[in-house]
Each structure stands twice: as structure tokens, then as C-alpha cells.
Amino acid sequence: MVLVADAISPPIQLHTLLTGFRLGGGQDWSSDVALVLQVTAVTLYLTGVYRLRRRGRRWPVGRTVAFLSGVIVLFVALVSGLAAYDDTNFSAHVVQHLLLMMAGPPLLAMGAPLTLALQALPRRGQSRLARVLHSRPVGVATAPLVAATLYYSSMWVDMQSSFYPFSLRHPLAHDASHLVMFTLGCLFWWPVVGRDEMARRPHPAVRLAMIALGMPFESFLAIALMSVTSPVAPQHTLADTHNGGSIFWIGAMSVTAVAVLVAAAGWMRTDERDARRADRTDSEPDPDDAWAAAWRARTGSVPSFIETPARTPTP
């Protein structure tokens, strides 16, 4: 998509995207902090995988790839040259928003880092982490209604309220909005597509509804951005605002469509596991049958008074 090139919304240059990393302190200290946290997350994750391997336990490669991909997405959003445009070009801000809320969190969730931590940590660390995961605040924050409400409403606050131009004038508020977007994305996507076992994971139908029912909100927001008659902030042009709305619509619908497929596949896997569990239960020997077999082994026959109609041959 071609962006308008003018003094207010500067055009996005490929050279800046590839080489304009926001590192080195100064006003970009938040990018330095983000990079340190990303490197720390990767180190801890790979250390956990290594510990499991030393114990003779395999960790799925797909989960490792998903987690590392999520970290790379966060690097692109917060450290790469894309971040150099996040407060001057609205279209770049929208792409950053999509990466922080809709791409990074689900990839991290599919990496199952909490399950890895519970398996790799010492017993004391496992107990502490389990208490946190089963705590009431975590249960409330990841409840479907709460997580979905915060997730979808934050999109409107970030792009269709007075907070956005305010955040452009106050760098600390702008950086805080990145943290909030990422956190709300994690709270929403972790119970929806995550591979971690959760104490109160929603039913697959509820997870699918959390994604599908949000599509109108995302569409209305995109249409609103493409229909405004004035820029979303003085730092941007009207054309840039419209371009941002188009990018948001395409990106959000694409992510949502993939998420619906993933949630539906998870629902099917759950049904298959339930069916196999039911088959195993049906195939287990009846206690009465086991008692009769033991009696037969001792005496050579089963007295007629203990035979149930179910075991009596049909004439």
C-alpha cells in the first residue's frame, strides 16, 4: 500500500525499516529495555528446554519455533526500524499495534512457556508458579468476558479516542500503551490458542465465540478510521489515517480468520480426546465381570445366582 509522503506523515523508507534500529539509550531507552526482556525470555525458554533434555524428556520443536517466532515479532514491533515510525506515521503505528496484540501474543502462547516452566523449575518454583496461575486475579483477568472486553475496547481507545494524540505528546504514555496492548493481547490469546493447561480454560465453543464475536468490533473500527473526515491526530495526514484503517482491517481480519481455524481445530481435537476417553472407559472390565472371572479361576464355574442378565446368553 502506498503511503502519502509529506512533512506531517513521513513516508516509510525501506532503508529505515531494515537498518533504523531504536537502540543506544537516549529517548529510545524503552527499546533497549524491550530488547533486554526479549533476550532474557529466549534465554530462559531455551534453558528450560535444555533442562528437560538433560532429564531425558523431549520438548516439542513446534512449540519452541512458535515461541521464538513470537519474540521475533516483538523485536520487529519495538526495536526494528518499524518502531522508528510509530509516533510519526499512523500506518506504521497500526502495523505495530497488530504485531503487539494479534501476532506476538498468540505465537508466545502456542509456545507453552508456562508448561515448560512448570516442568523445568525446581519443586519450590513450580509450587509458586502454580499458585500464581491458580490465583483469583489471574482467573478474573483471563475470564472470557473480561479478557474479550478489555482486548477489543482497548483498540478503540488506542486509535479512536483522545488518548492517542495525547500519547504522541507524552513518550512515557506512548511506551505504556505498548505494554498495555501486549498484556491485554496475552490475556486474550492465552486461553484461546495457548498450549498451556489452565485452571479455568474456556470451553472450545467459548473460545471460538471470543474470536468470532470480535470481528464486528474490528470491522467497525476499521471502517470508522477509513471514513473519518479529519486526521486521527495532528501529527498525521487524513490519507495516512485512511491507510491505517485499511491496514488494520486487512490485518485484523486475516489474523482472526487464522485464529478461527486454529480454535476450530482445537475443538475437534478436544472432541476426539473425549471420544477416545469414553471408548477407554467403555472397554474397561466391569467390576462384576472381574469378580466373576476371579470366582471362575478358583472354582471352575460361576454360580447361576450371581450371573446378571447382561451376562446371560440370549437364547
User: Phi, psi at residue 231, to the nearest 5°?
Assistant: -60, 155
DSSP at 86: T
Give the pLDDT score at 1.
38
Q: Are 91 and 140 in contact (CB under 8 A)?
A: no
Element (H, E) at 264: helix 238-283
**Helix ranges (DSSP H) in 142-237:** 144-160, 163-169, 171-193, 204-212, 215-227
Nearest to 228 by CA among 161, 279, 277: 161
Give the pLDDT score at 314.
43
Give me the DSSP letters along 87-105: TT-HHHHHHHHHIIIIIHH
CA-CA distances (angstroms) from residue 123 to 29, 40, 118, 195?
A: 36, 22, 9, 22
16 class by beta-carbon count within 10 Å (0-12 exposed, 13-18 middle, 19+ buried): middle
Give the pLDDT score at 304.
45
Give the pLDDT score at 14.
82
Rounded CA separation 225/220 (Å): 9
The residue written with cell numbers 450371573 in the block is 307
3-class secondary-structure state, position 10? coil
For the chain, the residue count is 315
pLDDT by 10s per residue, the chain, length 315: 333 334 577 888 887 888 778 776 555 688 889 999 999 999 999 999 999 999 988 999 999 999 999 999 999 999 998 988 888 899 999 999 999 999 999 999 999 999 999 999 988 888 899 888 888 998 899 899 999 999 999 999 999 889 999 999 998 899 999 999 999 999 999 988 888 877 677 888 888 888 988 899 999 999 999 999 999 999 899 999 999 999 999 999 999 988 888 878 877 776 666 566 655 555 544 444 554 555 555 555 544 444 444 444 444
Give the pLDDT score at 293.
59
Give the pLDDT score at 272.
64
Give the pLDDT score at 190.
92
Give the pLDDT score at 278.
59
Rounded CA separation 248/223 (Å): 10
pTM of the model: 0.80
Looking at beta carbons, which pairs linking 169-178 to residues 24 or more positions away fall under 8 Å? Answer: 171/27, 171/30, 171/87, 174/86, 174/87, 175/30, 178/30, 178/77, 178/78, 178/96, 178/100
Give the pLDDT score at 222.
95
Q: Are 48 and 120 in contact (CB under 8 A)?
A: yes
Question: Considering Cα of 52, then 57, then 61, then 66, what sign does the dihedral take?
Answer: negative
